[in-house]
Amino acid sequence: MNEFRYRPMDDYIQRSDWKAIYVLTEHWQSDFYFYTDEINFLNGLFTEFYLLMVGESQRESVQQLANDLLALGRKCESQNQDIQKHMSDIALLEENAFSHNEQDFREDHQKLEDEISRFVKEFRSLKREVFASAAKAIEKGRLAHLLEQ
């Protein structure tokens, strides 16, 4: 999948009412709660298999993976805060149409969705990398266990 989007590429955002945009943003928020849980799980998985993954030759790549996981967790938190603010802005616009410039808000909405799309791609890529590293560590542990017998 080249592009991860919740909306069609046409003028959906320009035509949608605030309620539809708010529902879409609620979906983002729900997804980011899930991403937070997933990142916590990946950190736990990484911690569990860290000792198995760290050989002298792999130390740098494992450390980079750990740093990437931490950075992704920070991005997730930041993105979640942006989504929360966006939801507040939508609520203000529903109450008072003059609280924000509508066109600017819709452009910000599209930018936020593009940022979310980039985050999801990065998340998926890093998740595959962590799983691949854990699988190698498990296999390495099995081989070591077999050699001990």
Number of domains the chain is built from: 1
pLDDT band at 10 (very low <50, low <70, confident <90, very high): low
Give the Cα separation of 126 and 72 in Å (integer).
9
Note the pLDDT tens digit of each residue in 19-75. Answer: 888 888 999 999 999 999 999 998 887 777 776 666 666 677 778 888 999 999 999
CA angle 81, 86, 88 (to 5 degrees): 100
Q: What is the pLDDT of residue 143?
A: 56
- The range of the structural domain enclosing residue 99 comes to 20-26+74-129
Q: Per the domain annotation, does 120 fall within a domain?
A: yes
Q: Per the domain annotation, does 114 fall within a domain?
A: yes
Give helix 102-148 / helix 18-53 axis angle, nearest 10°: 20
Q: What is the pLDDT of residue 1?
A: 38
Q: Per the domain annotation, does 88 fall within a domain?
A: yes
Enter the pTM of the model.
0.79
Residue 30: φ, ψ to 5°: -60, -45
Q: Per the domain annotation, does 10 fall within a domain?
A: no
Please name the residue ranges forming H helices in 10-100.
12-15, 18-53, 59-95
Q: Per the domain annotation, does 82 fall within a domain?
A: yes
